[in-house]
Amino acid sequence: MSTPRETPASTPGTPDSPPPKSHFIRDIIVQDVQSNKNGGRVQTRFPPEPNGYLHFGHSKAIHLSFGLAQEFGGKCNLRFDDTNPCKEETEYVAAIIEDLRWLGADWADRLFYASDYFDQLHAWAVQLIEAGKAYVCDLTAEQVREYRGTFSQPGRESPFRGRSVEENLALFARMRAGDFPDGSRTLRAKIDMASPNLNLRDPIMYRILHAEHHRTGNKWCIYPTYDYAHGQCDSLEGVTHSICTLEFEDHRPLYDWFLEQLGIHHPQQIEFDRLNLTYTILSKRKLLQLVRDGHVRGWDDPRMPTICGARRRGYTPEAFGNFCSRIGVSKTTGVVELPLLEHYVREDLNRRVNRVMAVLRPLRVVIENYPDDLVEELDAVNNPEDVNAGTRKVPFSRVLYIEREDFREDPPKKFYRLSPGREVRLRYAYLVTCRDVIKDASGDIVELRCTYDPETRGGNTPDGRKVKSTIHWVSAAHSLEAEARLYDTLFAKEDPNEVGEGEDFTANLNPNSLEVVERCRIEPGLRSAPVGALYQFERLGYFCVDPDSTPEKLVFNRTATLRDTWAKIERKQKGAAS
């Protein structure tokens, strides 16, 4: 048995992980440390909004911000960006923390919330009003949009832009006191309505929202916008390198403006390209839609590209860490192929996970010349990649199950497995030869009659003869029943967002993303396998015990398949035939 370790491997420095890879952000930090900028201090932060679950894209940001801090002896804060009470919930806070821990992120006691700074943010807003740099605007949302102008046309100044400091102060105080309804007024920064950067056309700093906040309750009815809050929150925390994704690049001048007006510590924002993965959607909004509309069973559905989904599927933090190290960091907009992530999952699982025999679609086999009442305990290697993993005993008896796919009555070319008259090895057991095929009334194969060679115990051939194939098996009387959930990509298209007229991304959902296989048979040794335990089912793939398991029946998620050379050959044969 083996369970996912909870070691921090999504951050560099663990024994097996590759040395930190150079990239442009790391280069900047190296330079800053060398030039003693910020006193040589490195402080980053990871600022999720608690309005959804962490997904694969976040793992890249987490790996970066936490990893860089660790590498340079600095700190990385966790700060929830909770400036919008309408969309945020404590459920998400707890889930995000759990996922972060699992990934190995370490923020020690530095768990913060943007809402921790609401008082300071408000005081700074007052300060900006007093300096004539902010004003209360009575325009409606629609009017604000009209006044903003377009890409090619400059905006127009709000008619309320010229209000006196006193009037602004009084109005802002009344906004805060709850004198006005939602949306009736805003506090705006007085910058430049003609700026080619739309973010600088008098952006909103505060909006009226009579909504209960998950942390501050009903203390406030005005809430700062992200654009107003973010830079100052970073500043308050002494962040030196504020790492974020590319779409915030043209917000940076705005953050800089607030910091300069206020004359406070100025973190350096550095933008990188967010993760894109083939066959995957990494948008919280769309992920939420999949959950709400029941396209998946929840945020932790093993098909979801969420961290909790991956955990349930059997992915490991180490796999994410190695993946993130390998994909690197840049500003080029790219799409990483899903098989690269899967490669790191397999690589990690291959070396840590014990092998076991399981039959997904059982075919009954009777060994005619094996004694009816005999049961042998045969030795099986737990993990050929790890000598310390030892061996286990597997019961063998007269009646067995093998994989239906491992028998062909009429074997095609290059099919080396069992067929009438052919001898194969039962892994760790004996060489057996198929003597007869039993069918039911409708012609379906229901049983194979085989004979075994007693000289080949353990699968050895004292006479040196070779067999083309070794197949897995399970003793019928001793094996346990289990359910297996086989997954394929959630979307059928490489780019799920590529849709036809009037369709949305759900049109690209893969109808075959989940296949439930009931009545599988597994080795008796798995009887008390705990939830989350990972195994390799020999020749089939990696599987993980699902929380839906009961004492009566284990449920397994297929984490990843093994390379299937025969399937490839068969595909080619079929392609050539048609």
CA angle (527 as vertex; 524, 531 as ends), nearest 5: 140
3-state secondary structure of 128: helix
CB of 39 to RNA, least distance (A): 26
CB of 441 to RNA, least distance (A): 30
| Side chain identity, residue 237 | E
Judged by CB, which is closer to RNA: 72, or 301?
72
CB of 414 to RNA, least distance (A): 5
| Side chain identity, residue 574 | K
Judged by CB, which is closer to RNA: 192, or 273?
273
Judged by CB, which is closer to RNA: 176, or 425?
425
Q: Which of 325, 244, 265, 242 is nearest to 74 (CA)?
A: 242
Judged by CB, which is closer to RNA: 301, or 423?
423
Distance separating alpha carbons of residues 31 and 163, to the nearest angstrom? 46
Question: What is the Rg, in whole angstroms, of the alpha carbon atoms belonging to the chain?
Answer: 31
Judged by CB, which is closer to RNA: 105, or 341?
341
Q: Which residues are catalytic?
A: 49, 274, 284
| Side chain identity, residue 496 | P
Judged by CB, which is closer to RNA: 21, or 219?
21
Q: How many residues does the chain have?
A: 578
Beta bridge partners of 204: 188
Judged by CB, which is closer to RNA: 108, or 576?
576
Element (H, E) at 560: strand 554-561
CB of 565 to RNA, least distance (A): 3
Say what angle helices 56-71 and 90-103 make with each other, to 10 degrees: 60
Judged by CB, which is closer to RNA: 517, or 531?
517
User: What string of DSSP letters covers 373-413?
Assistant: T--EEEEEES-TT-GGG-EEEEEE-SEEEEEGGGB-SSPPT
Distance separating alpha carbons of residues 474 and 357, to the nearest angstrom? 7
What lies within 8 Å, CB to CB, of 175 at 6+ separation is 136, 185, 187, 206, 208, 221, 222
Judged by CB, which is closer to RNA: 163, or 472?
472
Distance separating alpha carbons of residues 26 and 482, to the nearest angstrom? 48
Distance separating alpha carbons of residues 173 and 214, to the nearest angstrom? 23
Half-sphere exposure of 107 (CA within 13 A, CB side): 23
User: Would you put residue 435 in left (φ > 0), alpha (ψ -120 to 50) or beta?
Assistant: alpha
Q: Are 309 and 95 in contact (CB under 8 A)?
A: no
Is the Cα dihedral 98, 104, 105, 106 positive or negative? positive
Tokens of 260: 């300069």
CB of 46 to RNA, least distance (A): 12
User: Would you put residue 502 in left (φ > 0), alpha (ψ -120 to 50) or beta?
Assistant: left
Distance separating alpha carbons of residues 80 and 82, to the nearest angstrom? 6
Judged by CB, which is closer to RNA: 52, or 104?
52
CA trace torsion 562, 568, 574, 578 (10° rounding): 120
CB of 552 to RNA, least distance (A): 28
Half-sphere exposure of 449 (CA within 13 A, CB side): 7
Q: What are phi and psi for residue 365, nearest 5 degrees?
A: -130, 130
Distance separating alpha carbons of residues 190 and 128, to the nearest angstrom? 9
CB of 561 to RNA, least distance (A): 9
